[in-house]
Amino acid sequence: MWRVVVLRKLQLLTLILFVGLSSFVLADQITLKNGDRLTGTVVKSDGKTLVLHTDAMGDVTVKYTEVQEIKTEQELHVSTKDGKTVVGPVTTSDGKIEIATKTSGTVEAAKEDVTVIRNDAEQAAFEKAQKPLRFTQGWAGGANVGFSVARGNSETENLALAFNAARTTKKDKFSLYATSIDTKNDLATPTTVANIETGGLRYERNVIPKLFVFGAADFMSNALQFLDLRSVYTGGFGWHAIKTDATQLNVLGGINYTHETYSNGMLVTGTTNVYQSYGVTNRFAAASFEELTQKLGKSTVITQNGGFFPNLQQTGQYRATFNLGTVTKISKWLGWQNQFGNIYVSNPPEGTKRDDVLLTTGLNISFTH
């Protein structure tokens, strides 16, 4: 009996040692110039930095120039300045990178001549990105839903909906958005507290890495300000002032044509509120605005944009907008969103206010296609 127990213990110990040694053998290792050694999985390098995935610290990014040695068990895709790409496990010797290919034997390259290093997953993602996408592919975005009800001393219902989607490639970007806020008070005489709808689209095309051209169309209605429809058609240039994985700051400027129609606020008598006639129609041009996207860690994204639209035909009249929003991920597809917005009009219809301040909160359902 004791022999069986000892045999089982030896088998278990052998299995543990085998798994441990296998994990050690299959790990990649980089050695820095200061003597530090890091063990994990080489993910990618762009010739400026190198990303190593570790179990303890996640993705670790180091300066490529500080890397003294690389040794991998996995095959890497290595590209050099002459445009060649070879595949195989990587080692370094005498300041040179050696790739043990299956077909051409060992290929050497000077460390400074290596422009790109990718593992299989990164290479597959890169190759997929190079393939032309159909217009229905490559979309990502989300839908925001917020709803509240109050009963007792007040009887109100509030529904806030929003949708945004963007399709981004290396050459261009196409964006769609729509929002709707509807708040009613049913106490005594039914009253509309808020009824604002917006929507629009924008197309951007890169001219050079930092410069792009864009065209946009935006639409808005606001019942309490007697705004039946505001249509804004914009075209101009944009500048990627900051463009990193964590932060994007775009400065845009151009010319827009704005056509807006206000009702006169007079209602036809009856059971439904219907505006009798249109009161004021404005047309003017010019625009300048900026937008900022900032990622805070892996879970929260902050977006901000603002605009200033002076009337070139009637000096002193203008419109200004500001929006600030956050989305915090709860799961892969679900998040919590908060949105603040302010719309200022210098010459609203008589009896209405210049400012409309909007604050919504609710769930964000994200999608990719």
pLDDT tens digit string along 143-169? 888 877 766 666 777 788 888 899 988
pLDDT at residue 94 in the model = 78
Mean pLDDT of 329-352: 84
| Whether the predicted pLDDT of 262 surpasses 60 | yes
Q: Give yes or no: residues 173 and 121 share one domain.
A: no
| Whether the predicted pLDDT of 209 surpasses 80 | yes
Residue 305: domain span: 139-368
Q: Give yes or no: residues 240 and 121 share one domain.
A: no
Q: Give yes or no: residues 162 and 78 share one domain.
A: no
pLDDT at residue 268 in the model = 55
Mean pLDDT of 309-324: 82
Last residue of a domain, one of 130, 150, 165: 130
Q: Give yes or no: residues 60 and 186 share one domain.
A: no
Q: What does the pLDDT look like over 113-142, one tens digit per residue?
A: 999 999 999 998 888 777 766 778 888 888
Q: Which of 124-133, 154-163, 197-206, 279-288 has the highest mean pLDDT?
A: 197-206
Q: Give yes or no: residues 124 and 145 share one domain.
A: no
Last residue of a domain, one of 130, 160, 189: 130
Q: Give yes or no: residues 144 and 124 share one domain.
A: no
pLDDT at residue 265 in the model = 56
Q: Give yes or no: residues 254 and 107 share one domain.
A: no
Q: Give yes or no: residues 66 and 213 share one domain.
A: no
Q: Give yes or no: residues 233 and 359 share one domain.
A: yes
Residue percentage of the chain with pLDDT more than 70 = 80
Global pTM reads 0.64
Q: Give yes or no: residues 89 and 192 share one domain.
A: no
Q: Give yes or no: residues 337 and 204 share one domain.
A: yes
Mean pLDDT of 249-268: 77
Q: Give yes or no: residues 199 and 88 share one domain.
A: no
Number of domains the chain contains: 2
CATH code (residue 275): 2.40.160.40
Angle CA 107–110–114, to nearest 5:
85
pLDDT at residue 321 in the model = 86
Last residue of a domain, one of 78, 105, 130: 130
Q: Side chain identity at 306, as an amino acid letter?
A: G
